[in-house]
A and B are shown apart, each in its own frame.
Chain A
Amino acid sequence: MSAGTLARFGDRLPAHEPGGLLLNIHQPRTDIAETTLAIVEELKGLEGPLLPILHGLQEEFGYVPQDCLPVIARELNLSRAEVYGVMSFYHDFREHPAGRHVLKLCRAEACQSMGGDQLAERAKRLLGIDFHETTPDGAVTLEPVYCLGLCSCAPSAMLDGEVHARLDAADLEALVQEARR
């Protein structure tokens, strides 16, 4: 990045690149707005298009940037508050980027019955973070999930969309290692 370039929180840019000026101001980014518009245009013909649009945006950006909301609101004839209300209701949609990898550990009953709680504690210790947090190096975000439907081979986890079951301490350590990379 050349000197004097503006970067904002939330952009997927290195946090402390020398020369970049970091500003926490709200200034709609044209590229986000354009990409959002393209996704909205593609999906707005669906019946009840808002969730598919939010999924599409999260897939594109890794989270749902604030700058998407006015575009969605305008195109779907909703208020920004309504769009934000929907987005913030669902656990899946992030307001901020996650780490490079997302490790989801199942916290539900079937996994508890097979030592899921202890496994979660171990994961927190290994990563040095709690649920909903990201490691300082930006490598891993740890999230709880309430059931992956792998209750017959508990405890289970999902690393970046890949499922893993019947995890023991060693398996977990291997998963964490993989995520750390």
Chain B
Amino acid sequence: MTTKVFIPRDAAAVALGAEKVVNAMAEAIAARGLDAVIVRNGSRGMHWLEPLVEVETAEGRIAYGPVKARDVASLLDSDLLDGGDHALCLGKTEEIPFLKQQTRLTFARCGVIDPLSLDDYQAHGGLAGLRNAIAMAPQDIVVQVTESGLRGRGGAGFPTGIKWKTVLEAAGARKYIVCNADEGDSGTFADRMIMEGDPFVLIEGMAIAGLATGATKGFIYTRSEYPHAIAAMAEAIEIARKAGVLGASVLGSGHAFDMEVREGAGAYVCGEETALLNSLEGKRGIVRAKPPLPAHKGLFDCPTVINNVISLASVPIIMDKGAAFYRDFGMGRSRGTIPIQIAGNVKYAGLFETAFGLSLGEIIDHIGGGTASGRPVKAVQVGGPLGAYFPRALFDTPFDYEAFAARDGLIGHAGIVVFDDTADMLHQARFAMEFCAVESCGKCTPCRIGSTRGVEVADRIAAGIEPEKNRELLADLCNTMKFGSLCALGGFTPYPVLSAMTHFPDDFQPAPRVEAAE
């Protein structure tokens, strides 16, 4: 039987040399006349081991990593195709602790299957949720999603079912499902991974959203920085269309639903839902005032569901296994699982899907293994460039929407960036303001002007110019931005700035200004 060798096509694996490994492997397989085929899977999310090569054996999949092209010959010499022992052998993939400790619901297939094989997808439970949804009334689908407790995984945490209900009940000849795949937050890559590693799950989730709300057209708006994800999604949509999963009659149900991928153009603010809608319409990515809500007047003024990739990709398993199954995971009002993205200066960086409720310390120290540099952890930024910096003193915070909010933070899209003790928090605060200035859409004054003033004030503090007065000014400016901005860009930029000031006051006390000698 032909042996399958898995080498990821995920951008992280590619960036670490997966293409070279594939070429070397293909050549070696041909030269040695071996009966093996290379499958380009998604990533398992253990990025310190990428490129992670797996081989399918009678005992299960055996992993090797990180593999470089030059390792291929010695791997094959060591009977790679039979799961032979080698210095890079990690044993059974499923037994690797980082993977074994996870609860993979949304990412169950990511890294396991060939992302562009619809047969593979169905063999691993795919389309079961959509088939169940087809047999249900739209109201009942909405009830399932509502009862699952699923909340928007993009960061706002708004209940997905309630959004869907609003669109279902909204009058409109045409309705849209828009997938927000504009994953611009540093430290996040879950959307990218699912689009590259299991694109059909997103298609299925969007088709279910279409059935539930009466929408017939979907858009995935993603980033131009994600060429691999765009290519995978576009190809998967084409395959789904040919197979009748999308089109005039979704799986023969008589309900129409089709979709396309749209590419952004490097504007971070388009991750804000109303700016995204403007961008899709072909306008400047300017934030809209709410109300009207997108659920009432969204894309082209039609009722529109706009959900994050992970929210939509979590729907198929809810519709497959039922609301109660999903709701049983998690804590408090944060139900289900969350793909935590551990990034930055951390030893075991990658994607860790788990039920809500792990403490920040468990995630950083036990799962992430501390810093990559081996130095002490100074701060972690949770939730992207608009998320707060947490010191070690707050590492007991459980990963939960409300618990983070109670400590003036946010979990956002669940990305965590780890910094060691060489980080200068004043510099990080300045960067937050600088980033906001670069990316502000310009519509509201606190964000547009406040961010530029923020950079200047931070620079004055760094230069030792009237530090006390300028610290007060910076805090005051943050307050204005927080309460006066139209959207989360200006409104949340104060989180990293204020948290840095609050938790790391020493970094805001630069050496007194050296006066020029007379």
Residues of A within 8 A of B (CB): 46-52, 54-55, 76, 85-86, 89-93, 108-114, 145-154, 156, 158, 161, 163-166
Contacts and interface: CB of A to CB of B under 8 A. Distances in A.
A91 B263 CA distance: 13
Q: Which of A50, A54, A93 has the most CB of B within 10 A?
A: A50
B390 interface: no
B187 A146 contact: no
Given A151-B341, A163-B228, 16 more contacts: A48-B262, A51-B265, A86-B282, A90-B285, A108-B385, A109-B381, A110-B343, A111-B186, A114-B372, A145-B225, A146-B184, A151-B187, A151-B415, A153-B12, A153-B15, A165-B16
B221 to A, nearest CB: 10
Contacts of B225: 145, 147-149, 158
20 contacts: A47-B217, A51-B279, A55-B263, A89-B285, A89-B441, A90-B265, A90-B267, A91-B267, A108-B186, A109-B187, A113-B417, A113-B420, A146-B385, A146-B439, A149-B226, A150-B15, A154-B343, A163-B11, A165-B15, A165-B16
B47 A152 contact: yes
Given A151-B189, A164-B15, A113 B350 contact: no
A90 B266 contact: yes
B480 interface: no
B263 A151 contact: no
Nearest to A90: B265
Contacts, number: 150
B265 A152 contact: no
Nearest to B373: A114
Q: Which of A54, A111, A163 has the most CB of B within 10 A?
A: A163
Contacts of B428: 109, 112
Contact of B224 (A92, A108, A113, A163): A92
B94 interface: no
Nearest to A154: B344
A91 B226 CA distance: 15
Contact of A156 (B15, B341, B349): B15
Contacts of B350: 152
Nearest to B263: A55
Contact of A92 (B192, B217, B262, B265): B265
Secondary structure of the B contact surface, majority rule: mixed
B268 interface: yes
Q: Chain B interface: which size bin?
A: 35 or more
Contact of A51 (B50, B263, B344): B263
Contacts of B354: none
B14 interface: yes
Given A86-B283, A90-B285, A55 B15 contact: no
B423 A113 contact: yes
B404 interface: no
Interface in B259-318: 260, 262-268, 279-286, 300
Contact of B188 (A47, A112, A151): A151
Contacts of A55: 224, 263, 265
Interface string B423-460: 10000100100010011010000000000000000000
Interface in B399-429: 415, 417-420, 423, 428
Contacts of B423: 113
Contact of B342 (A48, A49, A152): A152
Contacts of A149: 11-12, 183, 188-189, 191-192, 223, 225-226
Contacts of A89: 267, 284-286, 441
Interface in B203-225: 217, 223-225
B469 to A, nearest CB: 28
CB-based closest 5 A-B pairs: A50-B282, A108-B186, A90-B265, A91-B266, A151-B343
A165 B50 CA distance: 11
B143 to A, nearest CB: 31
B345 interface: yes
Nearest to A143: B266
B282 A146 contact: no
A125 B342 CA distance: 31
Contacts of A112: 428, 431
A86 to B, nearest CB: 5
B146 to A, nearest CB: 29
B76 to A, nearest CB: 25
A93 B265 CA distance: 7
Contacts of B280: 48, 51
B16 A166 contact: yes
